[in-house]
Amino acid sequence: MFGRCNFALYNKNTIVYKTFYKRQLSARALLSAASVKRQQQPHKLLILPPTTSHGQNSLHTTNAQHLRQSMSADTKYKLTEVEGDLFSAPETHSLAHCVGADFVMGAGIAVMFKQIYGQVDKLLAQGVQSGGVATLQDKERYIYYLVTKPQSWGSPTYDSLRASLVAMREHMRKNNVHKLAIPRIGCGIDGLEWDKVSAELNSVFDGEELEIVVYNYVPK
């Protein structure tokens, strides 16, 4: 009788142990599967935007892989200089030059713009002041008049030039203009330095999908 009890107790303990062991193996399998699944999922990057006027941040979640692709995208802005006549630029390129708000255009390359494109009344009617930009359309391209001074006999400043460039950039964005040909704007009789002007161009247009070709006319 005593032996039977011991045998029965042994069998019962064995069954309990086996059941516990099987449950332990199942739990380990579930944990392992969950770990593999977490490793396969893309990481999430939490970005906190600048604090609002109420002192609160809105939380945005973005996929880290997509963010890396966006940050590594190469800009398509390019500025190059060539020797040649600005008015020989391809018609795929819009043109730009500097003028006074009175649109007299009586000296320098502005004289050629006035002779070729005219429509001074239309330019004046736009009422653009220093720091703005007036436009004419020539077929599929635009002619930009960077108004960098109140009167044609005056002198521009780097601030007024920059403001006009920003105004032109906004127009170009809205009208999908991606190619531009210019002289050394603001230099020559206007007296600005090309190194500083080109730095302003790079600052204003960096990051834009834009090709700027600077034409330096060399008489032969």
190 is catalytic: yes
- Encoded amino acid at 100, one letter: G
Active-site pick, 139, 149, 195, 196: 149
pLDDT of residue 131: 94
Strand partners, 68: none
149 is catalytic: yes
Q: Of 21, 49, 71, which residue sits at a domain end? A: 71
Q: pLDDT digits over 78-118, tens only? A: 999 999 999 999 999 999 999 999 999 999 899 999 999 99
Domain that holds residue 65: 2-71
pLDDT of 219 strictly over 80: no
Active-site pick, 44, 190, 196, 206: 190
Distance set, CA 57 to CA 45, 53, 61, 63 (Å): 16, 10, 13, 19
Q: What are phi and psi of 147, to 5 degrees?
A: -85, 100
Tokens at 2, concatenated: 């005593």
Domain identity same for 107 and 45: no
- The rounded distance, in Å, linking the Cα atoms of 121 and 126 is 9
CATH classification of the domain holding 133: 3.40.220.10
